[in-house]
Structure 1
């Protein structure tokens, strides 16, 4: 996501107002054949995020996936490193692990010319730079506490994770970037809390969120006037079997009747229903997302989300992402962003994201620090004239040993080429190649 010197689409680049600020791209798309390693890249990021945020239980193995196409891989540790910007500072955080332990861990502040250590771990040996501003000039007692907590960190746990558990607040921004800023979505990901998100924003937190959601949805010309949230008494909701209702009533947490409690009921096709309690009551309400359309007489007709096409459900799932991107300070990484979407809808997602920021720049004279990174097979997005910069287009392919190699169009001379035709013809690699089938290998089709 580091920008090349290319001056095309300057609004796609974000740079803070300090001499160490690195020019960062706001979006990138990643192409590659099936089984080229695109999804593995995203899965590796997700694994590392979960390991940082949630850690692992005592005496449990770390569920790191090994590279099976190399015999010695089982004896080698795995290395992960993230470089990211948060609150006007840039950091490099990483670690080296195998299924049983953390070998190394490090945190540096970085910049164009800067590389300042904050802490390093080698086994159970820790080195802290207490002069760094992250420590806020702490005195001897707090330094001793940090050293003590580091030494007591389990060998299968990251010190950053342990810092959160032990309430060491100096690394709060680093931990929060992984827990709150970085969002990773897969093709099957569903926003289970969407009804609650819309309802709460409509009622109190941010009434504009619900309106923006519906305005975006209507602008996509799907024949939808708006979405709404119906709240129905659980006992009156006919689409849940009686035995399931009884199970929910038995299992529902009534221990605190002054607050909302949420129960998510998985349904077919990956959708869900949310059931919540009502404060000061034992009533249970089903929160049901409904889609409202107009018939030929302009009368409103309600549809369940499951009655819509996969593409409509997918775009409804992605709209909260677009709104959060427009608000800034978030990084979305999506595997197969075009899943179930028409090519023009997939393109519209990127156009909306980039244009949101332009509108906000007019209002605030500042670009939001949000990023959208996605894998795709959609070749019609290969547009370096109107949509992307060259350094925003990446390819992944496997070498002869099964290792995935990533490379971009940065610093190439492709301005006058038909990128779609060139990619399909294999000019940039990262496409499937099919060997000819011999006569004795041809499949027999039964009738």
Structure 2
């Protein structure tokens, strides 16, 4: 369970920003739960304010932990994206820290990197509430906690390149103190993939055995998408089948694959809609973008709820109706549908998620965060709880009115420019030529 994430000097994030998941309001705790962290966090803000960069920073930390030993070339430096709007930032380290609660024990793990190497790295645990040093690393060397298997870890240290995280290698050397944190990044932390296609593999696996996934089928029917039945069928993937799926725009790699390996049998998911003549089976690619988005995302949501862990979604409302998005969020708020205490972290533009559905708040007061950029182009992250909102206040309306910040500011020049363009129509096109010169 994620308790806190801190980051500095990553993309549009210049100074330290902290995403806290500790509950603030006991009255807002989901009924029947005793979770140490909130189950849902929504991050809201204007376009280009840096919402996705908060998510990207956590994803970057994950990639470093899981695969820095594979990705880094000897003496190849560290691939990173520091803040670019200030010269000094490019020479300063970027750093990332998480506080986790795993099997009742709190861990703090973090590292900082510059363009050349890992500058600092550390792992502490807090059994019985007292700090225990597992290891601390600096440019001067590595300090190993007293209770560690020192000899084995010294061998790991000798093969750890300056641009590789010690955690990446130590966890693979069967060190028990490292595995809980490493496994959280590798297995418990999941990111929603932005897929362009209909997500056939995950959908097909579920639709092939719908009886094993009743919650997914129930969600499809509750979504009011007109779905009467669903399932899978085996088809021969040849050029005719590709034309059915893609029309005239068959991806070149698909044609190359067909030419190289020939036609093959594949599993194709289908969605059944009821018409005047009965059930008509349709390929997933024939469904609306909203239905395809749900088919892509729902298996990931259901998997997170089933396993527990932390699920991260950038732009959760993309192509989905607000009521359906609210319904997915609500699954994480209820101990009956979230028995393993899974967490959902998402970004969104949809202010309606700050309101209510069926008389209930979609998000509690301590589950809402905002981002905005200051005059220097730096992303700042802050919590709704900082404004001490009343439980009954209309947070959607207050957000849209600018009371909390995190909304786009469009000055009068924008309207004036549009009006000037309209006045110029039919008068020589000077405004149009000026506009064209800007691109």
What's the TM-score once normalised by structure 2's chain length? Answer: 0.79
* CA deviation profile, 1:379-437 (whole Å, cap 9, x unmatched): 11113753332111111111222221112122603334322221111110111111221
Superposition deviation, residue 4 in structure 1 = 1.2
2:192·2:297 contact (CA, 8 Å) conserved in 1? no
Which residue does 2:73 correspond to in 1? 58
Superposition deviation, residue 243 in structure 1 = 8.6
**Runs of at least 5 residues in structure 2 that lack an aligned partner in the other structure:** 1-20, 244-249, 427-439
Evaluate the alpha carbon distance shift between residue 246 and residue 348 of structure 1 in structure 2; reply closer, same or farther with a 3 A threshold.
Answer: closer
1:253-402 to structure 2, matched below 5 A, reads: 284-297=264-277, 299-355=278-334, 357-358=335-336, 367-383=339-355, 386-402=361-377
Which residue does 1:4 correspond to in 2? 24
Superposition deviation, residue 224 in structure 1 = 0.8
Aligned residues: 389
1:217·1:226 contact (CA, 8 Å) conserved in 2? no
Which residue does 1:28 correspond to in 2? 41
1:149 to 145, 150, 156: 156
**Secondary structure of the structure 2 residue equivalent to 1:153:** coil
1:71-86 to structure 2, matched below 5 A, reads: 71-86=87-102
**Separation (CA, whole Å) in 2 of partners of 1:68 and 1:315:** 36
2:49·2:371 contact (CA, 8 Å) conserved in 1? yes
* CA deviation profile, 1:313-367 (whole Å, cap 9, x unmatched): 1111121123123314221111111111111111111123323x2256xxxxxx4
Matched, 1:220 2:198: no
1:96 to 112, 115, 121: 112
Evaluate the alpha carbon distance shift between residue 196 and residue 54 of structure 1 in structure 2; reply closer, same or farther with a 3 A threshold.
Answer: farther
Evaluate the alpha carbon distance shift between residue 209 and residue 105 of structure 1 in structure 2; reply closer, same or farther with a 3 A threshold.
Answer: farther
**Separation (CA, whole Å) in 2 of partners of 1:13 and 1:189:** 37
Superposition deviation, residue 29 in structure 1 = 1.0
**Runs of at least 5 residues in structure 1 that lack an aligned partner in the other structure:** 16-22, 136-141, 253-281, 361-366
Matched, 1:233 2:233: no
**Separation (CA, whole Å) in 2 of partners of 1:439 and 1:81:** 43
Which residue does 1:248 correspond to in 2? 257
1:322·1:353 contact (CA, 8 Å) conserved in 2? no
Superposition deviation, residue 247 in structure 1 = 3.9
